Amino acid sequence: MKPLKIAMMSMTHGHTRKYYQVLKENPKLDWVAVSTANDEVKQVFLDKVSGIPCYDSDEAMLDAHPEIEAVVLASENSDHLRQVKLCAERGIHILSMKIPTFDMAEYDEMERLVKENDIIFQIELELHYNPTVVRMKELAAGVGQMRSFQATNVTLSPVWAFPWQGQPEASYGKRVPLKEGDPRFRGGALCDHPHIFDMIREVTDSEFDTIFAKVGPNIREDLEEEDMLTVIGKMKNGVIFSLDPSWSKKENKLKVPGPGWEIFPKRMEVNITISGDGGTLMTDCFGPNVYENGNPEEKYIVRYTYFDEWVGLVDEFVDNIRFHRTPKIHLARHRGTIAAINACYESIATGKPVKL
């Protein structure tokens, strides 16, 4: 199969560096170029990767490389629609970060552009390509009549390394207060953690019925978005749920992620517990690992042994393009996840459960 000529845009997203290895090593890909949103991320990229042409604007890159067939939009959420237009009008396929947009009018526009230009638009929800999650899906039916789904998707806050995630306009798309009298705005931890909202829809084979969410006081005083929240509710098939999408693991304020980033020993955790009449299934999607207390701070931390989700994700993307297949996570499929996150914000604002 002819290698797919692929490029990356912006390089401001926290997942940018996850693509370096797979874009270089996957024989199905020919990594053509990148465009960077600013000098800072350009330098970070050049420090890590050599031999890939780097441009200062998306347009300059696309004009210089008409051979580009697909692009990874490694950008802040507020830039996605502009880049989708740029790519779609040129017939370039898109691998989008996990949040295409929270604005449903923009979402409609993206769907129109994708359909009219007949391109593949895949959304990066990499958890589906984690082998422990594959096991969980296989075993889930074994709990019998499913009753409850509980999940954490908790991390440190990436805002010091990826500042746009701390800016409500760039993360949520606009400045919307969390609730009356609250100085904080939408765009924080909830916008960073759609995975468990997506996963429950697949595992229960159902859609959200009712959602109730509450924010706690921030554990980071210098953040103008939410970092601690909890979500409970019910799916349309009756399964109840409890979801924790917080930034509950503290971090040092590094400009570039690396050793010494975490304060809590484990940077990121996705644990899922599914209970039914026939039993309980417990899954730690990112464990066990290796543990150390070496440099730079001699603090006890988790050293992850597995972060290969992007291997399977990119394999699927290439096959979707070559065989013109609908991605597992596409815009229509993902709409219910975005709606659920917006419902959480509505519940936080009103103090009441939201019926979907």
Partner 1 sequence: MELQKYLDLLVEKYDLPRGAALSGKTLAVGGKTVPLLPWRSERRFIELKNLVHDGTLEGVSAVRISHIAPKGTSLDEMLYKELDVCRWVLDDEIKEIATFRNGATSNTVAETKSGVICTIELAATLAAGTPIVDKHEITARVGVACDRAVDTQVPQSSTYFYTDSPTPVTYTDVDFELYGLNVSDVSTVRCAQAVLADEALADAFIEADKTLTALVALSAKSAGCGENLKAGDAQ
Positions in the binding site for partner 1 (CB under 8 A): 27, 129-132, 134-136, 139, 142-143, 259, 278-285, 287-295, 298, 300, 303-306, 308-309, 311-312
Q: Report the DSSP pairing between strands 279-284 and 290-292.
A: unpaired
Least distance from partner 1 to the Cβ atom of residue 137, Å: 11
Least distance from partner 1 to the Cβ atom of residue 219, Å: 24
Q: How many CB atoms lie within 10 A of CB 8?
A: 27
- The residues, ordered by sequence, that sit 6+ positions from 103 with a Cβ below 8 Å of its Cβ are 173, 174
Least distance from partner 1 to the Cβ atom of residue 3, Å: 11
Kindly tell me which of 25 and 39 has the beta carbon lying closer to partner 1. 25
Distance CA 59, CA 92 (A): 13
Least distance from partner 1 to the Cβ atom of residue 151, Å: 14
Kindly tell me which of 236 and 291 has the beta carbon lying closer to partner 1. 291
Distance of CA 35 to the CA centre of its chain: 20
Kindly tell me which of 313 and 343 has the beta carbon lying closer to partner 1. 313
Q: How many CB atoms lie within 10 A of CB 297?
A: 13
Give the 3-state secondary structure of residue 214. Answer: strand
Kindly tell me which of 11 and 136 has the beta carbon lying closer to partner 1. 136
- What are the backbone angles phi and psi of residue 155, rounded to the nearest 5°? -145, 180
Distance CA 126, CA 70 (A): 18
Kindly tell me which of 77 and 204 has the beta carbon lying closer to partner 1. 204
- What are the backbone angles phi and psi of residue 202, rounded to the nearest 5°? -75, -45
Least distance from partner 1 to the Cβ atom of residue 97, Å: 20
Q: Report the DSSP pairing between strands 301-303 and 290-292.
A: antiparallel
Least distance from partner 1 to the Cβ atom of residue 16, Å: 21
Q: Contact 84/113 with Cβ under 8 angstroms?
A: yes
Kindly tell me which of 117 and 273 has the beta carbon lying closer to partner 1. 273
